[in-house]
Structure 1
């Protein structure tokens, strides 16, 4: 039985999509594949119980009947972390639980895909960073990294050092077109000269980098004020309209694929946002219905308006959490990632 732990230099690198894509690719090749996420970090309420969505999706994709609690032995919630800091969690007992659950899940499996925490350092409070997990489970490690600037290579080197000989290699994900050649011709040879293999460089794909307006509305429980305006536009970031209209318009014109968040009573900001081509939708707060003139202009420009009952700060926090925790993950997302891996990565080397 082989064990592959997929970890990342930071949160929101596409780690889940990559882990599940690799698992389903191996399954399609005839292997019996299991999945485990020792530290549940993407928590949702399910019939009153806090569970991570990723093991649920893995179980569906792999047609598995494995027990969710066994697939996710540690619920790494804020309450759990606070208890661990107070000394109310036993690191040795947690390690034993992870090892025992893994051994049971791995029975009669050719490959176990293990997904790491938010980043490779998550779990340090209980002695279960991803490097610790790799040692406990005797796993080979795939490090998923992003690239926005040259300094990001420092993060890759630091992570590689923490895993030592267990590191199989690095996979760059969501690399922008402007950076793709630089990563391929400069960064990859540099890392390989330091003894760090690179399995591939995946280009940024819009549907994996953002989420649609309709998906955002569903995640936030927002009301659509413009029912006849399409909601399939993509959102990759948020901008906040908290200044004067002239300054706001200047800011809005410098962004793209953004949802603009402002109070529902700030009609001057709303009007300015509708003048900026990079604003994908308006997210209005406080439960204030926008005036008919704004709704009409939004419909004319094809910009949907979403309405939240919460205040601006709460809305910002919730919206940022949606982006930070990863886009809506589903079978379609995993299928798109499989295509990227097949075209731009050495899948056989990763799964070997």
Structure 2
């Protein structure tokens, strides 16, 4: 146990690529002949599986890393809305939860060279005194912080996290850095952080394949009907909801980039406005309504896919949000691609 290295991967926010980075580091450590373990103390990406609420990330980790650990050990706390409600009502014992995590970790770490612990947004868990700084202290872990960077103001979040972790913070990995921000980060941001005592292991460029899902994958997951033959191999990274008037919608959509627009199938004005914006890559029409021939004709001219589902707009929004946020770490191919990026842009040896 004393020879086991424990690394907690945490993040400044949600959906910054933390899972892919954690699993990619674990794969790289395995390739370097380390016997690797994995744990996610607080399960947050929840789905129903054989009657239980489980986090998808430990399930993927167990498959990819060839682990035989039990799910209740890899994910000792299911951080669901029901759990959080129980905490604030006093039905959860903080001490018992900490003991559960520590006991599970002891089992998972036994005989391992390196255990990678996947955290979350670093402040999550405050209601039960299990934020990532608390977990790092509990497991005596060194910490890697994953952060995004678009402008210097994003360094506020990095410094706040660095202050919370203190000496346990080994360094920062920036992810999904756009071309326009890369020079600013390298020339100004990273030297500034180093001047404040925060090490930076590297910065990963933004890649569409790791930042969203294809239109075809979106259609498959939603069980949507394709109403046009528009491009379905393009990636969408975000969604917008069309619930306003046509003129307002046009101004709204013109700011879009790699976006799927969700709107009612009977909203021809919104559909037409969306098709006039180059950043809109797909229309998702709800309510089971079929659009007019004019809309479909314009979509065909613009080579924009039009998908239709029978669900209501609110349900479609929830499903699309989950798919776009979860699509980055859906399979081994994604993690392998992330491992190659880390190898090219990050001081991997310093991490593993």
Q: In the TM superposition, what whole-angstrom CA distance separates every residue of 1:52-94 from its partner, at most 9, and x where no partner exists?
A: 1111111111111111121000000000000011011011111
**Once the 2 structures are TM-superposed, how far is the Cα of residue 254 of structure 1 from its aligned partner?**
2.5
Q: In the TM superposition, what whole-angstrom CA distance separates every residue of 1:132-166 from its partner, at most 9, and x where no partner exists?
A: 11111111100011112222111111101111111
Instruction: Report the counterpart of residue 262 of structure 1 in structure 2.
Output: 263
**Once the 2 structures are TM-superposed, how far is the Cα of residue 104 of structure 1 from its aligned partner?**
0.5
- Counterparts of 1:216-227 in structure 2, within 5 Å, are 216-226=218-228
Q: CA RMSD in A?
A: 1.5
| Alpha-carbon contact 1:14-1:326 (below 8 Å) kept | no
Following the alignment from structure 2 to structure 1, what is the Cα–Cα distance between the partners of residues 345 and 42? 29
Following the alignment from structure 2 to structure 1, what is the Cα–Cα distance between the partners of residues 335 and 240? 28
Following the alignment from structure 1 to structure 2, what is the Cα–Cα distance between the partners of residues 347 and 41? 27
Q: In the TM superposition, what whole-angstrom CA distance separates every residue of 1:281-312 from its partner, at most 9, and x where no partner exists?
A: 00111111223333343234321112122222
Instruction: Report the counterpart of residue 34 of structure 1 in structure 2.
Output: 37
Deviating more after overlay: 239-248 vs 7-16: 239-248
Q: In the TM superposition, what whole-angstrom CA distance separates every residue of 1:291-336 from its partner, at most 9, and x where no partner exists?
A: 3333343234321112122222332233234334553521111011
Q: In the TM superposition, what whole-angstrom CA distance separates every residue of 1:200-237 from its partner, at most 9, and x where no partner exists?
A: 011111111121112222343433333x4431111111
- Counterparts of 1:143-154 in structure 2, within 5 Å, are 143-154=145-156
| Alpha-carbon contact 2:43-2:75 (below 8 Å) kept | yes
TM, length-normalised to structure 2: 0.95
Instruction: Report the counterpart of residue 189 of structure 2 in structure 1.
Output: 187
Deviating more after overlay: 57-66 vs 315-324: 315-324
Q: Is structure 2 residue 91 aligned with structure 1 residue 98? A: no
Find the residue that maps to 1:217 and give its secondary structure.
helix
Q: Is structure 2 residue 54 aligned with structure 1 residue 47? A: no
The answer for unaligned runs of 5 or more in structure 1 is: none
Q: In the TM superposition, what whole-angstrom CA distance separates every residue of 1:232-284 from its partner, at most 9, and x where no partner exists?
A: 11111112222332332233223221111111001222123222221100011
The answer for unaligned runs of 5 or more in structure 2 is: none
Find the residue that maps to 1:310 and give its secondary structure.
coil
TM, length-normalised to structure 1: 0.95
Find the residue that maps to 1:309 and give its secondary structure.
coil
1:206 corresponds to which of 205, 208, 215: 208
How many residue pairs get aligned? The number is: 349
Q: 1:204 to 1:222 in 2, by over 3 A?
A: same
